[in-house]
Amino acid sequence: MVPPLPARLPPELLERFGHPTPGHAQSVILGGDTAFSDVHYREALVALSQRPQDHFALYVHVPFCHVRCLYCACNTTITHSEERVDQYLDALDHEMSLVTEIIGKRRVSDQLHVGGGTPNHLNEPQLARLMEIVERHFEIAETACTSVECNPRRTSAGQLDLLYGLGFRRISFGVQDLNADVQRAIGRVQSLDMVRDVFLTARDTGFESINLDLIYGLPFQTLAGFQHTLDQIVALSPDRIACFSYAHDPVSRPHQHAIRAEHLPSIAEKLQLFHQAVESFSAAGYRWVGTDVFARETDELTNAQKERRLYRNAIGYTPAPAKQVLAFGPSGIGEVGGVLVQNAPDLKTWERQLAQGLLPVGGGRRLTEQDRRRREAILYLMCNLELPASSAKGLEHEYESLCRNGGQGLLEVTNEGIRVTPEGRYLLHGLCVEQDASVDWGSTQWRAMVSP
């Protein structure tokens, strides 16, 4: 059943819970917590070295793009210099050496995600070198989930062949919106023909799973225009679709000043756009997973959600409990043995720290036992849409406050626990993020990290 859009949500509830936080797990840029240093991350890695049986995922951040999209919330540098990319690859190799010197060479990883930026901004020899570096330092398990993000405007048939040959089996393309007015306003013009051509070539190449990203809440988006985009996306029949909320924050991202606030839909209109996506994808046989992903009934994420084992790590939703993530590249976010860590977001700072022989830490947080309990409870609620009362042990204050905030139809509270109502799903992310605000995390960004 398609969750109905809350018909008469009071404006104050929309204002409170409807504002977007970074949709993509890796788009958070750390602001504070500089007391956390290389020394603390090193300790977490030493502890990991003593647990050789631990599984983990790898995330590699490629911080380059050809041009900057005006809505961009990612950490990227615009460059046309191949030499600049080569320098980054040298530094990436060094970063992996520093980490594997501590945890051990060629530890097995069962998930690899290469994101950005635009990973396919790299030329073919550079893409091959990137994978050579990864595989020299880590063993990618035969059954590993291997994925890469690509910009369709930088993709070619030869490049897709190469990526497949390098071992990638999942690929994700950023589409955002297919309407010409919207595309012009966000500085990202890509025709439906081009997107379709790239998509079908990826299918022919043999990728096992193709994801398409959309964004709602962009300038000039209307219900009619967005419906056209949704229809075209459904016609392509991707395996997964991610539909993120646009976060307009020109103070932190000055390039967004080029997007005029008066051209943006209101919060209520944004919810309508998202509801339209939920309706279209549900009618086409997709299931709404977590807060913003749509997957086929047979998809492993769908099964994981049905079986209450869906998890969300620093890379995104995962069916396996890959709770530990080793992240590389500027701004990469990792999680190792109860420590959240983010690399220095600035490319030059990241390189400078590495040149000094330091792990390029920008900030981090060692989770206390209470932090860990809260994080697990919030993630469980976001992934599985319920929270058994028994999981609230030691979190009585938070549980009460969540029940109180989830009034007005967002949550259903019984003696057994909390269930998110169909209407409540639309504001669940905001509800969970606000939950963290009751604790002093030291920075807003870490709140988003603790309940991504």
Enumerate the known binding-site residues for S-adenosyl-L-methionine.
59, 71-73, 116-118, 149, 176, 188, 213, 247, 333
User: Is residue 120 at the binding interface for ligand SF4, with CB under 6 A as the rule?
Assistant: no
Among 57, 72, 140, 175, binds ligand SF4 (CB under 6 A): 72
Q: What is the rounded CA–CA span in Å between residue 10 and residue 8?
A: 6
Q: What is the rounded CA–CA span in Å between residue 377 and residue 393?
A: 10
Q: What is the rounded CA–CA span in Å between residue 410 and residue 405?
A: 8
CB-wise, 118 or 229, nearer to ligand SF4? 118
User: Is residue 155 at the binding interface for ligand SF4, with CB under 6 A as the rule?
Assistant: no
Closest by CA to 111, choosing from 61, 146, 139, is 146
Footprint on residues 48-67 left by ligand SF4 (CB under 6 A): 65
Least distance in Å: CB of 69 to ligand SF4? 3
Closest by CA to 362, choosing from 343, 336, 340, 383, is 343
Reduced 3-state DSSP string for 233-277: HHHHCCCEEEEEECCCCCCCCHHHHHCCHHHCCCHHHHHHHHHHH
Closest by CA to 32, choosing from 439, 336, 402, 444, is 444
Closest by CA to 64, choosing from 188, 151, 133, is 151
User: Is residue 183 at the binding interface for ligand SF4, with CB under 6 A as the rule?
Assistant: no
CB-wise, 64 or 226, nearer to ligand SF4? 64
CB-wise, 293 or 427, nearer to ligand SF4? 293
Least distance in Å: CB of 195 to ligand SF4? 14
3-state secondary structure of 28: coil
Count the site residues for ligand SF4 by CB under 6 A: 11
User: Is residue 363 at the binding interface for ligand SF4, with CB under 6 A as the rule?
Assistant: no
Among 21, 151, 205, 435, binds ligand SF4 (CB under 6 A): 151
CB-wise, 117 or 332, nearer to ligand SF4? 117
User: Is residue 238 at the binding interface for ligand SF4, with CB under 6 A as the rule?
Assistant: no
Among 100, 111, 118, 146, binds ligand SF4 (CB under 6 A): 118
**Under a CB-based contact definition with an 8 Å cutoff, are residues 307 and 298 in contact?**
no
Q: What is the rounded CA–CA span in Å between residue 248 and residue 368?
A: 33
CB-wise, 68 or 373, nearer to ligand SF4? 68
Provide the β-strand partners of residue 294.
Answer: 241, 288
3-state secondary structure of 301: helix
Q: What is the rounded CA–CA span in Å between residue 106 and residue 335?
A: 19
User: Is residue 219 at the binding interface for ligand SF4, with CB under 6 A as the rule?
Assistant: no
Q: What is the rounded CA–CA span in Å between residue 201 and residue 194?
A: 11
User: Is residue 117 at the binding interface for ligand SF4, with CB under 6 A as the rule?
Assistant: yes
Of 112-120, 123-131, 156-164, 345-353, which part binds ligand SF4 (CB under 6 A)?
A: 112-120
Least distance in Å: CB of 376 to ligand SF4? 30
Least distance in Å: CB of 26 to ligand SF4? 10
Of 89-97, 111-119, 375-383, 392-400, which part binds ligand SF4 (CB under 6 A)?
A: 111-119
Q: What is the rounded CA–CA span in Å between residue 447 and residue 332?
A: 17
Least distance in Å: CB of 330 to ligand SF4? 13
User: Is residue 195 at the binding interface for ligand SF4, with CB under 6 A as the rule?
Assistant: no
Footprint on residues 411-440 left by ligand SF4 (CB under 6 A): none
Of 16-24, 110-118, 218-226, 353-361, which part binds ligand SF4 (CB under 6 A)?
A: 110-118
Buried b (16+ CB within 10 A) or exposed e, 123-150: eeebbebbbebbeebbebeeebbbbbbb
How far is the CA of 293 from the CAs of 62, 239, 296, 372, 452, in angstroms?
23, 11, 10, 25, 14
CB-wise, 186 or 304, nearer to ligand SF4? 186
Among 14, 74, 195, 450, binds ligand SF4 (CB under 6 A): 74
User: Is residue 347 at the binding interface for ligand SF4, with CB under 6 A as the rule?
Assistant: no
Among 69, 114, 289, 344, binds ligand SF4 (CB under 6 A): 69
Q: Tokens for 296?
A: 């086929």
Closest by CA to 408, choosing from 395, 426, 424, 393, is 424
Which residues does the annotation place in the binding site for [4Fe-4S] cluster? 65, 69, 72
Q: What is the contact surface with ligand SF4 in residues (CB under 6 A)?
A: 65, 68-69, 72, 74, 76, 116-118, 151, 174
